[in-house]
Chain A
Amino acid sequence: MSSGTEHAPAAGDYIVHHLTHLTSTGHKQASVIDWSVFNVDTLFWSVSMGLLAVFLLMKAAKSATSGVPGRFQAAVEILVEMVESQSKNIVHGDRSFIAPVALTVFMWVLFMNAMDFLPVDSLPRIGEMFGIHYQRVVPTADLNGTLGMSLGVLLLCIYYNIKIKGFGGWVHELFTAPFGNHPLLYPINFAMQMIEFTAKTVSHGMRLFGNMYAGELVFMLIALMGSTATVAGFFGHVVAGSIWAVFHILIVVLQAFIFMMLTLVYIGQAHEAH
């Protein structure tokens, strides 16, 4: 696929190939929306990363003592304390589920994003050896992955809205906020609320997806530079690849953090009456 192969594909083919999901149907999804198709690669890597994240957290939780912590336990505790203090500042109410959600989201997204650090060709190449011809390894660079999580957050928002304000209270708020309680304003208020919920959810998922998709794409372009197998291409690959990888460390952690913070902010908003 990259440098060294005899039948080096054209640049466009390389990119398109790398951006094609391994679907449950076995070939590329034809229409933009098709609910009968699964992206097997996204699901596999997202579940794997989720299990890895939860497994690591659970390992720390199992051996957690109030005595002197080891380095691993201390690291997990720092993470937990960070999430705990953030959630305490943002969400005012019962956080027995919300704080763990934030921790899960942060660790899961961090691990899924971190799949971007693997060389773009490594896992697809290994897959190819086993007859898997298409594979994308960064679940957060798949819109389904990120929108799936942001939809989860939307459901939590609706759940907490109803739990805190009661169903009647929430419906009342849908029609009276943000502009005020007047029959003429009901449709405008409701439309604004619908737009708000939609915008929150879509931007939440799209932000993460866009960042990781772009990151993946830049790695592919850098790999293309190396695949020219010239001296300039080699050095360009090494220099640009190093710079982008280092910069990507920031993006990976920052996007995971932003995703977690927005999760908390949206759920926190559900706790506050207008």
Chain B
Amino acid sequence: MNLNATLFAQLVVFFILAGFTMKFVWPPIMKALDERAQKIADGLAAADKAKTDLAHAEKKATEELRKARESAAEFRSGAEKQAAQLVEEARNDATRIIAAAREAAETEAASASQRAKEALREHVAQLAVAGAEKILRKEINVAAHAELLTQLKSEL
């Protein structure tokens, strides 16, 4: 427990060691620590940004998908409408054609029936003349009674 000059030597050593530490130990370590803290901060910021970007991209993708689905639906409904229209047109055409055909057939039938009637009238007139000839048992001048016969024909 004696005091001696060791005390002052120790005092000097204290300042030398402290000065050495201040000059050669403390700055590089603090620099490394600060740099690493900066790096970590940058990394965290980058990660945050990546997360935001990802969320953004996902949102965009969903939007695109929704748009695509919408336009597909639109195309489909357009096509269906067009098809329906085509069918409708075809049906109209068919109706028209059928109507025309029926009309033509009716006209044809009417004219045929007319012709048949004419022929029948002719025949009936001849039969009437022949009948009258047989009934009168006398000669009738066809030419003289043509007007009468024609009148008869039209009356049939």
Contact = CB atoms under 8 A, between A and B. Distances in A.
B22 A149 contact: no
B20 A39 contact: no
B17 to A, nearest CB: 5
B6 A149 contact: no
B4 A35 contact: yes
Interface stretch (A92-100, A172-180, A184-192, A238-246): A92-100
Given A66-B39, A152-B15, A147 B7 contact: yes
B11 A101 contact: no
Contact of A147 (B3, B17, B38): B3
Contact of B6 (A39, A81, A96): A39
A81 B24 CA distance: 17
A231 interface: no
Interface string A10-29: 00000000000101000001
A43 B8 CA distance: 10
B145 to A, nearest CB: 140
B31 interface: yes
B29 A64 contact: yes
Interface of B: 1-11, 13-15, 17-18, 20-22, 24-33, 35-36, 38-39
A164 interface: no
A143 B2 CA distance: 7
Interface stretch (A54-62, A115-123, A221-229, A248-256): A54-62
17 contacts: A31-B2, A35-B4, A35-B5, A42-B6, A57-B25, A60-B25, A61-B28, A66-B33, A66-B36, A84-B30, A100-B21, A101-B22, A143-B2, A144-B7, A148-B6, A148-B7, A148-B13
A79 to B, nearest CB: 9
Nearest to B38: A66
Interface string A141-171: 0111101110110010000000000000000
Contacts of B26: 61, 80, 96, 99-100, 103
Contacts of B3: 32-34, 143-144, 147
A104 B36 contact: no
A64 B7 contact: no
Interface string A35-55: 111110011001100100110
A89 B17 CA distance: 23
Given A66-B35, A99-B26, A145-B10, A54 B21 contact: yes
Contacts of B18: 97, 100-101, 104-105, 152
Contacts of B15: 152
